[in-house]
Structure 1
Amino acid sequence: MIRPVESKNPIRSQISSVILWSRNLEKSAERYSRLFNLPSEQQERFGHMHILHLPNGTDVMIDSNGMDNVPIPDKAPPLCFVPADDIDEAAVLIESLGFQIIYGGIIRNEFVSFFNMRDDDFNVITVCQNHK
């Protein structure tokens, strides 16, 4: 295990949340709840923000505050990485939930298979199956 360098630093060596911007909070909250297979009681709503608590302790914060005037980008890098047990089944699920697979579809090699998905607001997430 890699340990942080011993020094005084106000930043912790962890990522606690991923923030996704949304123009339609209800739609995004429903889609991402279904994507992560979370029941509605694991969700919190604070006005313009909806928080999904993943079992590993990471939160997905869907934020609609001030999004009306923010343009949707044409491209974006992935915001985070989520593992999949079966990349083909994951792709079917992604598309059935209304997400779009982008940047060339499923990429396969001997070590991993992955694809990038996006939502209506062009939040991009990489979905990956490890083969080793």
Structure 2
Amino acid sequence: MGKQIGSSLSVLVVSDLARSRRYYREVLGFDVTDWWAERDGLNGMALKLHQAPDGFVPVPNPPESGADTGIDVQGYTDTWAGLDALYAEFESKGAKFAREPIVYEDFGPWKEFVVEDPDGYHLAFGGVDGAKAHCSIQPKLDAGILRVRDLGGAVERYAKLMGLQVRDEDRYGHLHLFRLDNGTNLMLDSNGMANVPVLELGPALKLGTHDIERAKREAVECGFEVVHDIQRLPSVAYFNIRDVDGNVVMITQDYVPEGS
């Protein structure tokens, strides 16, 4: 059985919802919607901001024994270079810091700073320096890239396939970037593709589903062609679809066979 919890969100009850949304968007660089505030996808730092009822004053966490600052949300970074860049970004936008960057030699060493929001909630950002001495490339997938000929049509098609919002701020000329829930991105690139013929390709992306029959119907309704019908193996079922540019996507469902 595949993992069943894909992400989690911390809930903060705030005294002025509009003010908090503005702070998280403009100062901390979060993507803020009516449902959540998140940075780097729902597996990055994800929050729900709830308006406090009349008369209720938000109560941030107190410091733990021996500490001077309570922490309400903890974020982790892979490298100190990334942590320093995050601090510089927040500082340039006028963030309030409850704790300046500090290194704790006995914990990794661990480096951390703490940001304070308008209600006094404290968001800590920190980590050990995960950079390898022999390699500056981080061992994680930043984005999947699909080459498309009609950017507008491709954006509409993939947004519908995965239930994604199309936002003007995610369009960069001949590129469109979908920010996915797991912190990676899907980049659609139309640069120089107008007269490129459709190629026969293997799967470029793998997406998951909880209902493979329904996923197949929805993919066809979105304009994709099924090029390899549903196959069921002992622990997974899958099928492949192709878009009008020849990009092939595999859709999979992990499952437990009957009788097991």
Q: Deviations over 1:95-122 (max 9, x none)?
A: 000001113x111122111001110001
* Preserved contact between residue 43 and residue 51 of structure 1 (Cα < 8 Å): no
Partner of 2:242: 118
Q: TM-score, normalization: structure 1?
A: 0.88
Matches within 5 A, 1:16-55: 16-41=142-167, 44-55=170-181
CA distance in 2 between partners of 1:34 and 1:43 (Å)? 18
Q: Residues 108, 128 of structure 1: CA spacing in aligned structure 2 closer, same or farther, 3 A cutoff?
A: same
* Preserved contact between residue 208 and residue 253 of structure 2 (Cα < 8 Å): yes
Give the CA deviation at 1:130: 0.4
Matches within 5 A, 1:1-132: 8-41=134-167, 44-73=170-199, 75-103=200-228, 105-132=229-256
Give the CA deviation at 1:72: 1.2
Q: State the secondary structure of the residue aligned to 2:155.
A: helix
CA distance in 2 between partners of 1:102 and 1:60 (Å)? 22
CA distance in 1 between partners of 2:251 and 2:169 (Å)? 22
Q: State the secondary structure of the residue aligned to 2:145.
A: strand
CA distance in 1 between partners of 2:192 and 2:210 (Å)? 36
* Preserved contact between residue 155 and residue 166 of structure 2 (Cα < 8 Å): no
Give the CA deviation at 1:11: 1.9
Aligned length: 126
Q: State the secondary structure of the residue aligned to 2:194.
A: helix
CA distance in 2 between partners of 1:131 and 1:43 (Å)? 38
Q: TM-score, normalization: structure 2?
A: 0.46
* Preserved contact between residue 84 and residue 129 of structure 1 (Cα < 8 Å): yes
Aligned AA for 1:72?
V
* Preserved contact between residue 42 and residue 53 of structure 1 (Cα < 8 Å): no
* Preserved contact between residue 29 and residue 50 of structure 1 (Cα < 8 Å): yes
* Preserved contact between residue 240 and residue 248 of structure 2 (Cα < 8 Å): yes
CA distance in 2 between partners of 1:66 and 1:41 (Å)? 23
Aligned AA for 1:56?
N
Give the CA deviation at 1:68: 2.0
Give the CA deviation at 1:33: 0.8
* Amino-acid identity (%): 35
In structure 2, runs of 5+ residues without a counterpart are 1-129
Aligned AA for 1:99?
F
* Preserved contact between residue 155 and residue 176 of structure 2 (Cα < 8 Å): yes
* Bigger RCO of structures 1 and 2 (CA < 8 A, at least 6 apart): 1
Give the CA deviation at 1:7: 5.1
Aligned AA for 1:38?
L
Q: Which has the larger radius of gyration?
A: 2
In structure 1, runs of 5+ residues without a counterpart are none
CA distance in 2 between partners of 1:101 and 1:70 (Å)? 22
Structure 1 segments of 4+ aligned residues over 6 angstroms from their partners: none
Aligned AA for 1:106?
I
